[in-house]
Amino acid sequence: MKDLTQCVVNPLVSTEGFDSLSVPVHRGSTIVFANAEGYATRGDRGHTGYTYGLYGTPTTRTLEAKLTALENGAWTFLLPSGQAANSFAALPFLRAGDRMLIADTSYPPMRDFANRDLVGFGIEVDYYDPTSVADLERRIDGRTKVVWCESPGSTTMEVQDLPAIAAVAHRHGALVGCDNTWATPLNFKPLDHGADLVTEALTKYVSGHSDLLMGSLTVRSEALIAPIRSALGRYGIGVSPDDASLVLRGMETLGVRMRQASDGAMALVERLTGHPLVEEVLYPALAGSPGHAVWKRDFLGASGVFSVVFTPAATPHVSPALDVLRTFAIGASWGGTRSLMAPMPVRRNRTARPWTGEDLILRISVGLEDPSDLHDDLTAFLDDIAARTAGAQAA
């Protein structure tokens, strides 16, 4: 070979004996074939083979395999975000004239996708009370192709009876999908409880460091693989192997991070419960919280995310009081090492299960900081709300 060619063509280097604990980052778009026949028959490799970088590399396949095992599924797809995973849990299985039923407490971007895009495709969308299997029974019919769950529900934390919901959906020939981001597959396995598809926002707990976006979609049956794979190819959806390697790294500490976040959350929840400024704490692991019995029956543990409903007098002062925080950060998302607080509006995202409490709820995500620092920050926060509330009442 001439020098210019040697600059381009890589030598074959043996990897024998190099057994690293870390997963190599395989970057590549073009996949080369040993001969013409191999290229001509590349379609025969199926979903497990390598044909083009968009459909997977050894790095992304390693992450897919780990998630598939944790979810007790048949195959996992990686997508650029959790919401992308939610969208493609529905898109391949819906056509004009079909219906999709969505839990009324689902992630707001899922509602927006359904109300704008699915409706624009001629698909009918309806919302059901996530806590009422009877309400689902009233709304479902033979045109319903997908029933969507999120348990616990976004912000207000309603826990769904997934086995009962799946029984109704399957009786009508519908698939059941479930957003499992709050629990992760360590604490809940929707496919074991009747779901056909499960999504995770790997952006949050699984990657765990607030530095990337990715989602996963795991299917229960091999029959669901081809429709999703084909749709992802048509839309050109893929993920970076570099990001996949970061998820793989973060995943190794998922268990210890979840345990500390859950313990930290429960300590703050117990302190907030009964506080004079607090009307209700929404956390499925808390005895007496809505959905606790179903959570205790089906879940293996809890995450560090919960919500706080303040009294009507205190609610207007919650957002201004966030400025006193020093350890908690103010920000959306959750599941990283840093603890977060974020005020969340509720009523605008409800139709089937109206929210009758205060419209503003405080969502708290507990991270990995020292518990005493979180305790002190919460004290300062509550004291500031109390002072503002007292001042407003005096005026």
- 216-259, pLDDT tens digit by residue? 999 999 999 999 999 999 999 999 999 999 999 999 999 999 99
Question: What global pTM score does this model have?
Answer: 0.94
The SS3 assignment for 201 reads strand
For domain 36-251, say whether CATH 3.40.640.10 is its number: yes
Locate the domains of the chain by residue range. Answer: 36-251, 254-394
- 254-394: which CATH number, 3.90.1150.10, 3.40.50.410, 3.40.50.720, 3.30.70.20? 3.90.1150.10
Is the confidence at residue 357, as pLDDT, over 80? no
- 138-168, pLDDT tens digit by residue? 999 999 999 999 999 989 999 999 999 999 9
Residues in the chain: 395
- 94-120, pLDDT tens digit by residue? 999 999 999 999 999 999 999 999 999
Confirm whether 36-251 and 254-394 share one CATH topology: no
Q: Going along the chain, which residue ranges are E strands?
A: 75-79, 99-103, 124-128, 144-150, 175-179, 197-201, 215-219, 278-282, 305-310, 329-330, 340-345, 360-365
Is the confidence at residue 395, as pLDDT, over 90? no
Separation between Cα atoms, residue 113 and residue 85, nearest integer Å: 12
Q: Going along 3-158, which residue ranges are E strands?
A: 75-79, 99-103, 124-128, 144-150
